[in-house]
Amino acid sequence: MPAVPTTALLYRLNQSVMALGSAVEEIRLSFERNGDTETSERLLNYLRVIESNGHTIADLMSEVVDRLTVGEDVPPAD
């Protein structure tokens, strides 16, 4: 188990968000290739939310790691 489980949790959460975004993009492209542009556009809007939240999570994760490791020699989380 990592020395600081919070960072491992946030890292995994961010990985999940990025994987979900990739899956939504694949589905969106399939709809687009098959001519369902309306569904493709709706999925693109959802994808933008996922991507925005992913960037925010990554930024906040970095801030949490910085705060947790100030003055400590904590190894990186798995």
Query: How confident is the model over 34-56, as pLDDT tens digits?
Result: 999 999 999 999 999 988 888 88
Give the orientation angle of helix 5-33 with respect to helix 37-69, to 10 degrees. Answer: 170
User: Which residues are CB-neighbours of 43 under 8 A, at least 6 positions away?
Assistant: 24, 27, 28, 31
pLDDT of residue 4 exceeding 70, the answer is no
pLDDT of residue 8 exceeding 90, the answer is no
Which element (helix H / strand E) includes 78? none
pLDDT of residue 76 exceeding 70, the answer is no
Q: Specify the pTM.
A: 0.68
As a whole number, mean pLDDT of residues 6-13 equals 81
pLDDT of residue 3 exceeding 70, the answer is no
